[in-house]
């Protein structure tokens, strides 16, 4: 469904948000540990999220990652997915046709339109904040 980078990105953001709830800054190492991901690769992904203004970073001793106060309640899964994987998942053709639309649809165009609509709605309405709360209460997990 998503690329591995995107999966890591979502998990990382949920973790950072959970810690940001208590104004805790987290280091790259913390993140990689919490979500069981390769550290250097995770670094790349977090950089992308910083560039897209989804998370904040500070260098130097006691540096680390946080979620901007302003966004912490409104950030959705969708924003992360678009930042990392682009909008292919929402707009791309289910059978891989370059061009696929109402006027020249692939055989499953309408069926996929429905499914993708559901997916989009879910990703846009689910906030990272709500997921972080559940995580904090021990109702869900970020690593196996």
Which residues make up the interface to DNA (CB under 7 A)? 3-5, 8, 26-29, 37-41, 43-44, 46-47, 50-51, 57-65
Residue 26 and residue 64 in contact, taking contact as beta carbons nearer than 8 Å: yes
By a kind-dependent CB cut-off of 5 to 8 A, residue 16 interacts, out of a second copy, DNA, none, with none
* CB-CB neighbours of 43 under 10 Å: 14
Q: Which two tokens stand for residue 107?
A: 């055989």
What does the DSSP 8-state code read for residue 53? T
Residue 73-92 contact track with a second copy, rule CB under 8 A, x = bound: ----x-----------x--x
Single out the segment in contact with a second copy by CB under 8 A; choices: 21-29, 47-55, 68-76, 114-122.
Answer: 114-122
By a kind-dependent CB cut-off of 5 to 8 A, residue 57 interacts, out of a second copy, DNA, none, with DNA
Q: Which two tokens stand for residue 137?
A: 């209460």
Q: How far is the CB of 17 from a second copy (least distance, A)?
A: 10
Q: How far is the CB of 18 from a second copy (least distance, A)?
A: 10
Q: Is 8 in the site for a second copy (CB under 8 A)?
A: yes
Please name the residue that has the structure tokens 């994987």.
85
Say how many CA atoms lie within 13 Å of 55 toward its Cβ: 33
CA 59 to chain CA mean position, Å:
22
By a kind-dependent CB cut-off of 5 to 8 A, residue 95 interacts, out of DNA, a second copy, none, with a second copy
Residues 141 and 79: their CA atoms lie apart, in Å, by: 21
- Please say which residue, 50 or 108, places its beta carbon nearer to a second copy: 108
Please name the residue that has the structure tokens 């901007």.
68
Q: Which two tokens stand for residue 110?
A: 């309408």
Which phi and psi (to 5°) does residue 40 adopt? -65, -40
Binding site residues, a second copy, CB under 8 A:
1-2, 4, 7-8, 10-11, 14, 77, 89, 92, 94-100, 104-109, 111, 114-115, 118-119, 122, 126, 131-132, 134-135, 139-144
């Amino acid at each position: 469904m998503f690329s591995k980078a995107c999966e890591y990105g979502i998990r990382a953001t949920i973790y950072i948000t959970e810690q940001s709830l208590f104004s805790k800054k987290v280091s790259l190492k913390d993140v990689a540990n919490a979500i069981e991901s390769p550290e250097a690769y995770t670094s790349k992904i977090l950089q992308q999220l910083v560039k897209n203004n989804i998370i904040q970073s500070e260098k130097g001793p006691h540096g680390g990652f946080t979620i901007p106060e302003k966004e912490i309640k409104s950030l959705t899964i969708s924003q992360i997915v678009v930042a990392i994987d682009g909008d292919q998942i929402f707009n791309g053709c289910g059978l891989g046709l370059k061009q696929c639309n109402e006027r020249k649809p692939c055989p499953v165009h309408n069926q996929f339109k429905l499914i993708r609509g559901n997916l989009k709605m879910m990703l846009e309405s689910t906030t990272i904040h709500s997921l972080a709360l559940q995580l904090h209460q021990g109702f869900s997990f970020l690593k196996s």
